[in-house]
Structure formats: C-alpha cells, structure tokens
Amino acid sequence: MERKKFIQTLATGVLGMTTLSAFKNFTDGLEQQEHLMPVLFVGHGSPKNGIEDTEFSRRWTQMAKEIPTPKAVLVVSAHWFTQGTKITAMDFPKTIHDFGGFPKELFDVQYPAPGNPALAKETAGLIHSAHVELDHDWGLDHGTWTIIRHMYPKANIPVLQLSIDYSKGPQYHYELGKELAALRKKGVLIIGSGNMVHNLRMVAWDKLNEKEYAYDWAAQMNNTFKSLIQEGNHQSLIQYNQLGKEALLAIPTPEHYLPLMYTLALQGKNDAVSFFNDKAVGGSLTMTSVKIG
C-alpha cells in the first residue's frame, strides 16, 4: 500500500474509533426551515465571468442577496463528468483551473471555501439509485467557483460538488436529483451549473460582444425550454432529443444540459419558477438561468 493511502486509511480508522460523532449527519444540527431553500440552474458561460464584472456576474451577486444564506452549497457542475457518481468529501477542496487559453489572472484565482465530509457522507446516503463514491481528489471546477465566488465572496460557506455519470441519460439524472430533496429542508442550496443552449463549435467568436446575438435555432430552443419549464412539462425536457433537429444543435453533447435535470427534479408543487440572465452569447450559447422556489 502506498504511504499516502496507508496514512489516510490509518487516520480513517482512528477517527472511526475515537470520534464517531464526527460522522454524525451534518444537517442533524440544523433546524428544519419553515420555507424550503430555493434551487438554481445557473448558466455559467465563459470562465472569464469568474473574474469580470459582467451583467451575469452582477446578477449572481444579487441572487445571493435575494435568497436565504445557505448552510452549505451543493453544485452539480457540467465539468465533472465521471463514470459513476461521486461527491467531493474533503475538508478543503482545491480550486481547479480546468481550461486553457485564458489570462493568467484567471489561473491565479483561488476560492478557499471549506468542504464538509459529514454532509458528503449524508448526501451519499440519501441516494439509493446509485452507489456514490466519496471523492478526495477533485475539488471545485470552474462550473462552480466562477459562480460561487460572486455569490459568496468570503468563501465561508461549505461547498461540495456532485458529479454527473456520463453513462446515464436525462431520466436517470432527473430521478437521482429527486433523492436530494431532503437537503432543501435543511438550508442546503443546490445549484445545477451548465448552459441550456451550448454549442461551442458554432460560436460566432466575432459576435461575442454583440448583445443578445443568437442564431434562430438557438433562440427557438431557448424559448422552447423556457416554455416547457414554465408549464412544468419535465418529461419533454427529459426527452429533449425528440424536440427536433434544433434541439440537437442546441445540445450536441449533454454535459451542460444535464445539470438542469437536477434542478427541475427538485421542483415542488407550490414552487414558483422564474428566470434570470436570460441572454444569448455568441450565437450558440445561452446564459438563461432558473430559480425554483
């Protein structure tokens, strides 16, 4: 056994014997809230939104002021695509710069929010449709920290990530999302981070600074998705590949769309739905975001 793994195993064993209470459910100590915590789907767009003062980043800052301060944040990011389902379970997740070709300033960003191993273990226990691996290697990728550093700049709220199993389809992720419902009752903010319309191959790079520039098919599908969300027609959103060729242009690969399944799955009967950052960028991307509750 490698020395590092041996030490980790030994430490885990000692903790198990001497401080079993450390693994007490994180939310056991939290009061049940009178109102459920809202759920968000956030279009994160370019990593540069993480350091720039844009209309999108300003709205993220404002959103944090409009909703209750969470006890913890759980993000399903488009940028953690794995075989199987994993959840970050370290005390201090690292800041991951999972991109290239951007200014050094972006690579210098650190977002030192704590994790919460107890909450990770509890969340894994809520999910019965899959085995959830407690992960100690990942961290916070740009699908998470570019948003969260604007919402909670003090980095004083625990942040965890839940991965997306790339071998499973939208229905699977929707059903898995439902299993997280108990966390809303205890003040955990759940965020799906991706983009409803996301086709990088067709981005009009020369139009990035042209406000709300969108191809016809991108605007059409974004409006279709919004209408279906407002109607509560989740099944059509799950079966997006049956919405025509425009849908396949909007979602050529599923990773940026699947986080939306987790957000929608957590919608209750009495939850209001609203949209923010409802803008297109570069023709083939939309930043349209959803607040439920």
Please, what sign has the CA dihedral across residues 178, 180, 185, 190?
negative
The rounded mean pLDDT for the chain is 91
Residue 18 has pLDDT above 80, yes or no: no
pLDDT in tens, 103-151: 898 899 999 999 999 999 999 999 999 999 999 999 999 999 999 999 9
CA angle, 280 as apex, 276 and 285 as ends, to 5°? Answer: 110
pTM: 0.88
Percent of the chain scored above 90 by pLDDT? 83
First to last CA, the chain: 48
- Residue 2: predicted pLDDT: 40
- Residue 208: predicted pLDDT: 87
Top pLDDT among 13 and 256 is at 256
Residue type at position 23? F
Residue 33 has pLDDT above 80, yes or no: no
pLDDT in tens, 236-249: 999 999 999 999 99
- Residue 247: predicted pLDDT: 98
The closest of 253, 202, 205, 215 to 101, measured between CA atoms, is 205
Residue 28 has pLDDT above 90, yes or no: no
What CA–CA distances, in Å, run from 132 to 87, 120, 121, 164, 174?
Answer: 7, 10, 9, 11, 16
What backbone torsions phi and psi does residue 25 show, to the nearest 5 degrees?
-50, 130
Confidence label for 171 from pLDDT (cuts 50, 70 and 90)? very high
Residue 223 and residue 227: Cα distance in Å, rounded? 6
- Residue 212: predicted pLDDT: 86
Domains annotated for the chain, with CATH where assigned, are 39-292 (3.40.830.10)
Residue 74 has pLDDT above 70, yes or no: yes
Q: Which residues of 220-235 are buried (b: 16+ CB within 10 A; e: fewer)?
A: bbbebbbebbeeeebe
Both tokens of residue 177? Answer: 């999302």
Confidence label for 14 from pLDDT (cuts 50, 70 and 90)? very low
Residue 186 and residue 201: Cα distance in Å, rounded? 41
Residue 200 has pLDDT above 80, yes or no: yes
Angle, helices 258-265/170-178, rounded to nearest 10 degrees: 40
Listed range (12-16, 27-31, 154-158) with the worst mean pLDDT: 12-16
Both tokens of residue 57? Answer: 């980043």
Percent of the chain scored above 70 by pLDDT? 88
